[in-house]
C-alpha cells in the first residue's frame, strides 16, 4: 500500500484558543503535520525557517497584519506557498482582491471544523476554496473590476467549462467531467460571466459562439 502524502501546515491566528483548537484537530489527521504562529513576525519566521511548509492558514486580523499589503508580501516572498485566509468577518471584495494577489481560498470561522479538512485538501490539490455562502454576494461586475479581465480572454479551461454548460450540464456534472470541485466550477463560471459581460449561462454561450470560441 502506498502511503498518503504528508503535508506541512502553518496555522496563524492571534487567539490562542482558536490556534490550539485548529492545530489539534488537523493534527489528528495523519496527512497533516501542523505548527502554529500567533502574530505576523512569528509567522514569517516560521516560513523562513521551514521551507517545506505547504499551506498557510492565515487569520486576516493576525497581530502585525496590514491587510492586503501583508498578504501581497507573503505571496511575493513565498510563491510556492498555498495560502488560505481565515476570518470571523471579512468583505467579499477583500476576499476576491486577495484571490487576485494569489491567495487560494477563504475559510470563515463559522465553518465547522469537520469541514476544514476537506477545504484544505481541496486547496492542496490545486483548487480554490470559497464557502457557498460567499459566492452569491459577489456579482460579475465586482469580480471584473478586481480582476481587470478583458472581454473574451477565456482560458482553455474556461472555454471547456462553457462548452459543457452549453450542453445543459450542471455544475456538479461539469465538476465530475473535469475532475474538479463544484465550488471551483462556480468560480470559473462567475469569471466567465465577468470576462464576457454575460448575465447568465445562455448569454455567455451566445457571446462565446459569436466570438467563435467554440461551435
Using CA atoms of 32, 15, 56, 92 in order, give the dihedral in degrees to the nearest 10.
120
Res 152: pLDDT:
46
Please tell me the CATH code under which domain 7-131 is placed: 3.40.50.2300
pLDDT band at residue 147 using 50, 70 and 90 as cut-offs: very low
Alpha-carbon torsion (131, 133, 138, 140), positive or negative: positive
Would you state the pLDDT for residue 1?
A: 41
Sequence ranges of the domains in the chain: 7-131, 139-210
Q: Strand, helix or coil at 88?
A: coil
Q: Output the pLDDT for position 177.
A: 86
Q: Yes or no: is domain 139-210 CATH 3.20.20.70?
A: no
Look at residue 184 and give its three-state secondary structure.
helix
pLDDT of 209 strictly over 70: yes
32: which 3 cell numbers?
497533516
Between helices 182-196 and 201-210, what is the axis angle to 10°? 60
pLDDT at 148 over 50: no
Q: Are 7-131 and 139-210 in the same CATH fold?
A: no
Q: How far apart (Å, rounded) are the C-alpha atoms in residues 165 and 185?
A: 10
pLDDT of residue 10: 94
Give dist(CA 197, CA 47) in Å, integer. 40
Confidence of residue 154 (pLDDT cuts 50, 70, 90): confident
Amino acid at each position: 500500500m502506498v502511503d498518503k502524502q504528508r503535508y506541512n501546515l502553518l496555522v496563524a491566528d492571534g487567539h490562542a484558543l482558536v490556534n490550539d483548537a485548529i492545530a489539534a484537530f488537523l493534527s489528528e489527521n495523519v496527512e497533516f503535520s501542523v505548527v502554529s504562529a500567533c502574530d505576523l513576525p512569528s509567522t514569517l519566521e516560521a516560513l523562513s525557517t521551514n521551507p517545506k511548509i505547504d499551506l498557510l492558514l492565515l487569520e486576516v486580523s493576525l497581530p502585525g497584519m496590514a491587510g492586503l499589503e501583508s498578504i501581497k508580501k507573503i505571496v511575493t516572498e513565498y510563491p510556492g506557498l498555498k495560502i488560505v485566509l481565515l476570518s470571523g468577518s471579512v468583505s467579499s471584495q477583500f476576499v476576491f482582491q486577495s484571490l487576485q494577489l494569489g491567495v487560494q481560498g477563504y475559510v470563515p470561522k463559522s465553518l465547522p471544523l469537520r469541514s476544514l479538512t476537506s477545504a484544505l485538501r481541496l486547496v492542496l490539490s490545486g483548487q480554490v476554496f470559497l464557502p457557498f455562502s460567499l459566492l452569491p454576494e459577489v456579482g460579475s461586475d465586482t469580480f471584473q473590476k478586481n480582476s481587470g479581465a478583458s472581454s473574451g480572454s477565456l482560458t482553455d479551461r474556461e472555454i471547456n467549462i462553457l462548452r459543457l454548460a452549453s450542453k445543459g450540464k450542471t455544475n456538479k456534472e461539469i465538476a465530475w467531467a473535469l475532475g474538479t470541485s463544484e465550488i471551483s466550477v462556480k468560480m470559473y463560471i462567475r469569471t466567465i460571466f465577468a470576462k464576457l459581460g454575460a448575465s447568465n449561462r445562455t448569454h455567455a454561450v451566445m457571446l462565446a459562439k459569436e466570438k467563435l470560441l467554440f461551435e
